């Protein structure tokens, strides 16, 4: 009987510690997305309003279109990972006609808030649940959030060139 109580106690401690670890993972993810939101806002603020329609070459997206693409993917991935409904259908956001600095900033920041809000509603246990992303990729919810993070980092990074070509110094990197 004593051995059984010891095993139950050990098992309980393991459950608590893994739950605590998972919770800190949720908190860490929220913190990283908050940092990315602030960093992206600096990019949005740095680009002059008259340069939001700027594109380095004819086949590339404009600065505004890059930011809309970044945001559209944030919505799509976060909706799938958190099990929420995105306010935008696939490809809809990128067709936005009002590409003013004010509107693009509003849309992009709202996209980050959607991701962060979805993360905050996920339990630590749900982070490791497997889902099927876009009907073809089996992965844990946390991996979906990580893929979204990688995507937004990639496209924000591309806009560094847009800023430099527009004669603007890009914001200082924010790794921490």
With a CB cutoff of 8 Å and minimum separation 6, the contacts of 86 are 75, 76, 78, 79, 114
Q: Please say whether the beta carbons of 55 and 47 come within 8 A.
A: no
**Distance between CA atoms of 120 and 160, rounded to whole angstroms?**
30
Query: Do the annotations mark residue 154 as ligand-binding?
Result: no
Q: Please say whether the beta carbons of 44 and 168 come within 8 A.
A: no
Q: Please say whether the beta carbons of 170 and 164 come within 8 A.
A: yes
Of residues 151, 142, 156, 130, the one with CA closest to residue 75: 151
Q: Which residues are part of a known binding site for a divalent metal cation?
A: 69, 151, 155
Q: Which residues are part of a known binding site?
A: 69, 151, 155
């Amino acid at each position: 009987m004593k051995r059984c109580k010891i095993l139950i106690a050990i098992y309980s401690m393991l459950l608590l510690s893994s739950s605590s670890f998972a919770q800190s993972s949720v908190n860490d993810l929220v913190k990283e997305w908050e940092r990315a939101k602030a960093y992206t806002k600096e990019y949005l603020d740095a680009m002059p309003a008259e340069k939001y329609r700027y594109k380095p070459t004819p086949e590339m997206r404009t600065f505004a279109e890059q930011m809309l693409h970044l945001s559209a993917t944030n919505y799509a991935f976060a909706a799938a990972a958190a099990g929420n409904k995105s306010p935008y259908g696939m490809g809809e956001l990128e067709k936005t006609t009002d590409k003013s600095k004010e509107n693009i900033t509003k849309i992009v920041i709202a996209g980050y808030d959607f991701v962060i809000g979805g993360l905050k509603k996920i339990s630590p246990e749900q982070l490791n649940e497997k889902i099927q992303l876009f009907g073809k990729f089996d992965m844990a919810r946390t991996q979906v959030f990580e893929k979204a993070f990688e995507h937004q980092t990639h496209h924000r990074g591309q806009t560094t060139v847009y800023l430099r070509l527009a004669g603007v110094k890009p914001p200082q990197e924010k790794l921490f």
